[in-house]
Amino acid sequence: MEKLEKYVSVKDEDHFYHQGAVELLIFNFLLILTILTIWLFKNHRFRFLHETGGAMLYGLVMGLIIRYVTKSPDVESGTVYECEKLKSGPSTLLINITNQVYEYQYKREISHHNVHGHQGNAMLQKMTFDPSIFFNILLPPIIFHAGYSLKKRHFFRNLGSILTYAFLGTAISCIVIGLIMYGFVKAMVHIGQLKQWEFHFTDCLFFGSLMSATDPVTVLAIFHELNVDTDLYTLLFGESVLNDAVAIVLTHSISIYSPKENPNAFDAAAFFQSVGNFLGIFAGSFAMGSSYAVVTALISFMHLTKFTKLCEFPMLETGLFFLLSWSAFLSAEAAGLTGIVAVLFCGVTQAHYTYNNLSPDSKMRTKQLCKFMNFLAENVIFCYMGLALFTFQNHIFNPLFIFGALVAVFVARASNIYPLSFLLNLGRKQKIPRTFQHMMMFSGLRGAIAFALAIRDTGSQPKQMMFTTALLIVFFTVWVFGGGTTPMLTWLQIRVGVDPDEDLKARAASQSAPNLDKNTTKAESAWLFRIWYGFDHKYLKPLLTHTGPPLTSTLPEWCNPVARILTSPSAYGDPLKDGDTVCIIQNDELTENSELSAHVPVPAQDSTGSTQATGKEDIQEGDLGLGGYKLQLQHTAGQPQKNSLA
Amino acid sequence: MEKLEKYVSVKDEDHFYHQGAVELLIFNFLLILTILTIWLFKNHRFRFLHETGGAMLYGLVMGLIIRYVTKSPDVESGTVYECEKLKSGPSTLLINITNQVYEYQYKREISHHNVHGHQGNAMLQKMTFDPSIFFNILLPPIIFHAGYSLKKRHFFRNLGSILTYAFLGTAISCIVIGLIMYGFVKAMVHIGQLKQWEFHFTDCLFFGSLMSATDPVTVLAIFHELNVDTDLYTLLFGESVLNDAVAIVLTHSISIYSPKENPNAFDAAAFFQSVGNFLGIFAGSFAMGSSYAVVTALISFMHLTKFTKLCEFPMLETGLFFLLSWSAFLSAEAAGLTGIVAVLFCGVTQAHYTYNNLSPDSKMRTKQLCKFMNFLAENVIFCYMGLALFTFQNHIFNPLFIFGALVAVFVARASNIYPLSFLLNLGRKQKIPRTFQHMMMFSGLRGAIAFALAIRDTGSQPKQMMFTTALLIVFFTVWVFGGGTTPMLTWLQIRVGVDPDEDLKARAASQSAPNLDKNTTKAESAWLFRIWYGFDHKYLKPLLTHTGPPLTSTLPEWCNPVARILTSPSAYGDPLKDGDTVCIIQNDELTENSELSAHVPVPAQDSTGSTQATGKEDIQEGDLGLGGYKLQLQHTAGQPQKNSLA
């Protein structure tokens, strides 16, 4: 008895002093290694293995070491104990073992087939951290960064196409993958690898929706480095950002789709309920995200008579900015909505309104911090994916399922990109060339989001098989397609080394001429968006930021008393010209562009746009992809895609 | 059966979608509230409740709400289940409940008396997060910040006194608290509140060591804001920073002190082993921390011919800087040393060497990021302390013990400050005036470290009583003494509104005169430190940074080939003058000061010091304590403490 106590206390001591430090150290070590490798790669202009691929590789090696070097000291844990008294699993269990009460916390449900494979290696267990850390801590900075650094001008120019790819394309992809997988599952049942009741059609659709989240981090980083054609960049960036949001909401909707009787039969009511859920969740998340951003804008804009403005306390300002943005995510999750969608639109809105109210220091600081967090989170996730292949203990490798998934992913990507591009080209003035379509097809990598969705639920056998398959597809696409991006660009002869300023200058030149060439902007940004732009510029921007015309001049006269209170004093120096909406849009776009690509001076005639725009905040814009070197690709001057310039 | 399954799956669904979001949201909400309050306080120049006190108050209210508004749905968890088959508690337990296997994870050992009080409120349980998060994630940035922002000049000027207070003072405090508490424990046993065997003398000493960690965050923030006398500031800052390190190592050493037979009897061998442990752990942690910093300095300094320097990739540079510093902490913890000590000295060394190698952007970025993380971590900890009073479920409030602890803490602080100050004044040229001593006595708040040490182990009844008591003492000291700082300064007539430049100017003036007034620096920085300074300036700085004279001129001639390789090319423009060590020290100090207090131009004769020093990085120095307002205190010009100037 005494001896046991001693043993327990020594164990406690041990527990006391290294809790979690070793695991964190391993991650730190992997990250340091990744950073050093990136440095090396940048120096040798090596572009066949991207940093994310490298991070994954290191994770893989480390996982291998942990798995086969550490032992399983916990022999007890393979045994299942009976407890007749319990009716269901409580969240906390108190157990009396040799006269000492121990507290145990509920972790998860285990399928019977896993019990024996359950090795109970404590080290492995510690390394497979809680999926909620992914969702609540690692993903938000990545998605927020995507929203906050969105190049609005190009985005809105291609909005129609982006929305089509993101909504319609993801739905197509989800259904195609679901159908193909259902075929493979049927085949597996036929040859006896699977029992019929384990895998419903809804499970296949679930898999389809999670595999539809593309993650072109690698491709976009290379595009950024090579200055690939802006339209292609924007199409891919916009598609992938929105597509993540759509895929997540879709996964959520499918997982709560519960037909009343036979899960294989089609239940119209349940289906429409799912569609309703999808729309409701998307709209709700959007509203949640933007309202948090509007609150941030209002707080940072506030100038009560007795109050020092918030921007005089940069620490508080930055703190509030990030905490409120994160709260947008968490509130949405807590309310049963989708945090990713909320934080994405929160980022977009913050960039649109709050950014203008920040002090110049804070502008720079928020951008840098956002980028830094994104950089760290991304590398942690990719390291972790590498680790998970060996440390996750309930993998189910089914070759047929994996092969089926690979086929399904490509067929789905093809039936998303090509038909939709064809349809879009019917309506677009600037067609999406074939080469762009091939490149988009090629850039359908799967990454963090697919992984995060798959790891969220690994309780049952089908879910474990999905997780393993998703992980392998991520590896395959990141290494093969990520590495193949540069050769593919050369092969498709896509324009690289495009000077983003060139585009701007051409645009400025066309604008300074008295006859505005309305073709480009007007054709693409539909009437709905022109109305929105006008409304935003006349009412929302003056209300929420220091830019734009004073409300007194935009609101009807009887609103003057209210308008005077709501308008920033600094806005009065800046009377509204009687320009038409298109002009406002184009000016806005110009200003935005000068905000985003630093070294371009704001054109002199930009009188209605924001005068606060400084080029300073973007010093770090290219710091991950710098070096200033251009790839030795043939500049194909007279190509069809050249017409992306006005 | 079917019904149960349905129930479980619904529960899972729920689990699936809000994992952790609600708890994080609560913390976010508390932080946002705290930030808004700080803003309000800053506007109203309200200084009787510091932000930390405010954060604690909000936490308290939130804890109250969570405790009494949320219900305990988990009725099962009060019951203890028997398990005869198990011999000891495994880290993972598989339990078969109604034909479904659940996995449970070991959380902790529970004393028998707690079992019935164990309410099993899931919400409360989630809010009391893992102590390892404190140690591994929240504390490192705070301690690193303290090291990285150390004002070396003033620190070294008062080094002897600081070391005396930190080492000897903390030991005195620990023993005094231990003895007094032992008396109270004896009394409690006498009146039957406690059983003899529950509380050994080593437990009392353990409590003494953890309660000896002072945390003057609040006081120092106010000092900073009011520009209190620099020497007082430095004494307190230096003492508290080192004292934390000492208290932590002391707690560690005492907890592994295990006399062979009677735990109450004095065992000389075990005692000396503890002392040896203390010294070994301290030295080991110091070495670990500084070696990580040296590695960082070397990497950021590296300029291989084919390599672009790291500072051209700011994101990588910043990432590496923080990851390596954090690794210093984690490695020390993993190796059984003390991470806090390691990260503290890592911070000091980073500031001394690596800082000089960073690009100007990175200098600013690391400072800002470090400050920002410190700000967030501090507020999270104080919010959490407030929460813990109501959410922690195993409090043991013992009025006698709490009263005893309060008495002990004050007696211990008094027997630390007054006798040591008396002894120090015998040796010091500039005496520590009585008013300073009173102020130091008054500033002995307990905070994050004491709390973190106490929460690390709450398994047994004595440890729970200690935790509750420590928490209450933190509340009491932060609110009462933190709030009383400003009145106390007025009452003691301590000089405020001191211009740090004034000190510098006087010093520069005295130096430009041909006869160097060696009294101040020489008297205080003992011969050992002069030797160290000379060595550092001649060999280490040129080896690790771009500053200082080239090694070719400082090393003997036969070392020239090696020296040439090791010296940065930029150092050659800067030949070593034949100045004496004191001059080097003073120049170094001047440069440091100009680095640290921004707006002072570097004196022209500073030729041997670092020429890289820019004032830019310190733009944010005062941003938490700004506003530029001075307190309306009487400036008592002809006071004894005025002689702190040369």
B384 within domain boundaries: yes
Residues in chain A: 646
Nearest to A100 among B100, B109, B323 (CB): B109
Claim to verify: residue B409 and residue B546 sit in the same structural domain: no
Cβ(A162)–Cβ(A244) below 8 Å: no
Cβ(B404)–Cβ(B381) below 8 Å: no
Nearest to B102 among A76, A106, A125 (CB): A106
Distance from B573 to chain A by nearest Cα, in Å? Answer: 28
Q: Which amino acid is at A226?
A: L
DSSP letters spanning A284-346? HHHHHHHHHHHHHHHHHH---TTSPPGGGSHHHHHHHHHHHHHHHHHHHHHTTS-HHHHHHHH
CB contact under 8 A, A24 and B619: no
Nearest to B115 among A94, A136, A324 (CB): A94
pLDDT digits (tens, 9 = 90+) for A365-393: 888 889 889 989 888 888 888 888 888 87
A24 within domain boundaries: no
Which chain A residues touch B91 with a CB distance below 8 Å?
74, 77, 120, 122, 125
Eight-class DSSP state of A34:
H
In angstroms, the CA B168 to CA A165 distance is: 70
Claim to verify: residue B217 and residue B277 sit in the same structural domain: yes
A30 within domain boundaries: no
Choose, out of A1, A126, A313, the residue to mutate when testing the contact with B (most B CBs < 10 Å): A313
Least confident interval from A78-92, A414-428, B197-211: A78-92
Claim to verify: residue A494 and residue A538 sit in the same structural domain: no
B640 within domain boundaries: no
Neighbours of B94 (CB within 10 A): 20
CB contact under 8 A, A43 and B372: no
Claim to verify: residue B270 and residue B135 sit in the same structural domain: yes
> Over 80: is that where the pLDDT of A132 sits?
no
Torsion angles phi and psi, residue A354, rounded to 5: -60, -40
Cβ(A361)–Cβ(B361) below 8 Å: no
Which structural domain range is residue A309 located in? 131-498
CB contact under 8 A, B105 and A105: yes
In angstroms, the CA A266 to CA B518 distance is: 92
Cβ(A215)–Cβ(A139) below 8 Å: no
CB contact under 8 A, A79 and B94: yes
Distance from A609 to chain B by nearest Cα, in Å? Answer: 30
> Over 70: is that where the pLDDT of B612 sits?
no
pLDDT: which is higher, B224 or B349: B349
> Are β-strands B92-97 and B80-82 bridged in parallel, bridged antiparallel, or unpaired?
unpaired
Number of domains in chain A: 2
Nearest to B22 among A307, A334, A339 (CB): A334
Claim to verify: residue B385 and residue B267 sit in the same structural domain: yes
Nearest C-alpha in B relative to A377: B319
Q: How far apart are the first and last CA of chain A?
A: 85
Query: What tokens appear for B187 in the block?
Result: 């009394």
Estimate to the nearest angstrom the gap between the alpha carbon of B27 and the chain centroid. 22
pLDDT at A308: 62
Nearest to B38 among A93, A110, A316 (CB): A316
A35 within domain boundaries: no
In angstroms, the CA A563 to CA A136 distance is: 40
A122 within domain boundaries: no
> Over 90: is that where the pLDDT of B583 sits?
no
In angstroms, the CA B296 to CA B145 distance is: 17
What dihedral do alpha carbons A150, A153, A158, A160 form, nearest 10°? Answer: 90
Nearest to A55, CA basis, from A29, A78, A75: A29
> Over 60: is that where the pLDDT of B418 sits?
yes
Neighbours of B303 (CB within 10 A): 13
pLDDT: which is higher, B243 or B12: B243
In angstroms, the CA A489 to CA A439 distance is: 7
CB contact under 8 A, A16 and B43: no
Question: pLDDT band at A610, cuts 50/70/90?
Answer: very low
Distance from A12 to chain B by nearest Cα, in Å? Answer: 9
Nearest to B315 among A89, A96, A624 (CB): A624
In angstroms, the CA A618 to CA A602 distance is: 14
Mean pLDDT computed over B623-627: 33
Which chain A residues touch B135 with a CB distance below 8 Å?
19, 21
Claim to verify: residue A288 and residue A353 sit in the same structural domain: yes
Which chain A residues touch B371 with a CB distance below 8 Å?
315
In angstroms, the CA A187 to CA A403 distance is: 12
Nearest C-alpha in B relative to A14: B336
CB contact under 8 A, B92 and A77: yes
Claim to verify: residue B469 and residue B542 sit in the same structural domain: no
Close Cβ partners of B378 (under 8 Å, ≥ 6 residues apart): B52, B142, B217, B448
Torsion angles phi and psi, residue A97, rounded to 5: -120, 120
Residue that is last in its domain, among B449, B482, B498: B498
In angstroms, the CA A233 to CA A304 distance is: 43
CB contact under 8 A, A327 and B361: no
Claim to verify: residue A388 and residue A493 sit in the same structural domain: yes
Nearest to B418, CA basis, from B396, B441, B394, B445: B441
pLDDT at B76: 45
Nearest to B202, CA basis, from B116, B146, B271: B271
Which chain B residues touch A365 with a CB distance below 8 Å?
368
CB contact under 8 A, B95 and A92: no
CB contact under 8 A, A77 and B94: yes
Nearest to B433, CA basis, from B412, B452, B417, B449: B417
CB contact under 8 A, A92 and B74: yes
CB contact under 8 A, A74 and B90: yes
Nearest C-alpha in B relative to A140: B21
**Sheet bearing A80-82, strands edge to edge:** A80-82, B92-97, B100-110, A100-110, A92-97, B80-82
Which chain B residues touch A38 with a CB distance below 8 Å?
313, 316
Cβ(A642)–Cβ(A495) below 8 Å: yes
Nearest to B318 among A111, A339, A372 (CB): A372
Helices and strands per DSSP (H, E), number in chain A = 31, 3
Q: What average pLDDT does the structure give for chain A?
A: 73
Which chain A residues touch B120 with a CB distance below 8 Å?
90-92
> Are β-strands A92-97 and B80-82 bridged in parallel, bridged antiparallel, or unpaired?
parallel
CB contact under 8 A, B132 and A19: yes
Nearest to A376 among B90, B125, B319 (CB): B319
In order of A216, A352, A446, B409, the CA distances from A435 in angstroms are 17, 33, 21, 75
The DSSP H or E segment spanning A77 is none
pLDDT at A201: 83
Cβ(B511)–Cβ(B586) below 8 Å: yes
Query: What tokens appear for A535 in the block?
Result: 């409304």
Q: What average pLDDT does the structure give for chain B?
A: 73
Nearest C-alpha in A relative to B22: A334
B24 within domain boundaries: no
What dihedral do alpha carbons B62, B67, B70, B72 form, nearest 10°? Answer: 160
Neighbours of B278 (CB within 10 A): 19
CB contact under 8 A, A122 and B91: yes
Pairs of residues, one from chain A and one from chain B, whose beta carbons lie less than 8 Å apart: 337
Close Cβ partners of B36 (under 8 Å, ≥ 6 residues apart): A320
Unique residue bearing structure tokens 């003398």 = B201
Close Cβ partners of A512 (under 8 Å, ≥ 6 residues apart): A603, A605
What dihedral do alpha carbons A544, A546, A548, A553 form, nearest 10°? Answer: 80
Which chain B residues touch A324 with a CB distance below 8 Å?
32
The DSSP H or E segment spanning B358 is none
Distance from B39 to chain A by nearest Cα, in Å? Answer: 7
Distance from A514 to chain B by nearest Cα, in Å? Answer: 43
> Over 60: is that where the pLDDT of A469 sits?
yes
Query: What tokens appear for A178 in the block?
Result: 């679901």
pLDDT digits (tens, 9 = 90+) for A244-287: 888 988 888 888 776 555 655 566 777 788 788 888 888 999 99
Question: Phi/psi class of residue B575: alpha, beta or left (left: φ > 0; alpha: ψ in -120 to 50)?
Answer: beta
Torsion angles phi and psi, residue B106, rounded to 5: -60, 130
pLDDT at A509: 54
Torsion angles phi and psi, residue A105, rounded to 5: -110, 140
In angstroms, the CA A583 to CA A513 distance is: 12
pLDDT at A597: 36
- What percent of chain A lies above the pLDDT cut of 70? 63
B573 three-class SS: helix
A320 three-class SS: helix
Unique residue bearing structure tokens 């004279």 = B549
Which chain B residues touch A118 with a CB distance below 8 Å?
94
Claim to verify: residue B368 and residue B476 sit in the same structural domain: yes
Eight-class DSSP state of A82:
E
In order of A188, B463, B635, the CA distances from B638 in angstroms are 93, 51, 9
- The crossing angle, in degrees rounded to 10, of helices A21-44 and A51-69 is 140
Nearest to B398, CA basis, from B199, B598, B197, B628: B199
pLDDT: which is higher, A641 or A402: A402
pLDDT at A208: 93
CB contact under 8 A, A103 and B110: yes
Nearest C-alpha in A relative to B251: A17
> Over 80: is that where the pLDDT of B264 sits?
no
A55 within domain boundaries: no
Claim to verify: residue B551 and residue B427 sit in the same structural domain: no
DSSP letters spanning A397-435? --HHHHHHHHHHHHHHHHHHHHHHHHHHHHH-SS---HH
> Are β-strands A80-82 and B92-97 bridged in parallel, bridged antiparallel, or unpaired?
parallel
pLDDT digits (tens, 9 = 90+) for A186-243: 888 888 777 766 778 888 889 999 999 988 677 777 787 778 888 888 888 888 888 8
Neighbours of B629 (CB within 10 A): 10
Claim to verify: residue A242 and residue A357 sit in the same structural domain: yes
Nearest to A110 among B77, B94, B313 (CB): B94
pLDDT: which is higher, B583 or B291: B291
pLDDT digits (tens, 9 = 90+) for B420-469: 999 988 888 788 888 889 998 988 888 888 988 888 877 778 888 899 99
Question: pLDDT band at A407, cuts 50/70/90?
Answer: very high
Q: What is the CATH number of the domain that holds B302?
A: 1.20.1530.20
> Over 50: is that where the pLDDT of A55 sits?
yes
A474 three-class SS: helix
What global pTM score does this model have?
0.78
Nearest to A81 among B17, B93, B368 (CB): B93
Nearest to A344, CA basis, from A246, A479, A263, A421: A246
Distance from A512 to chain B by nearest Cα, in Å? Answer: 37
Nearest to A368 among B25, B96, B365 (CB): B365
Query: What tokens appear for B492 in the block?
Result: 């003691």
Question: pLDDT band at A304, cuts 50/70/90?
Answer: low
Residue that is last in its domain, among B568, B593, B622: B568
Residue B450 burial (C-beta neighbours within 10 Å; 0-12, 13-18, 19+): buried
> Over 90: is that where the pLDDT of A470 sits?
yes
Cβ(A504)–Cβ(A151) below 8 Å: no
Claim to verify: residue B415 and residue B556 sit in the same structural domain: no
Partners of A214 in the β-ladder: A446
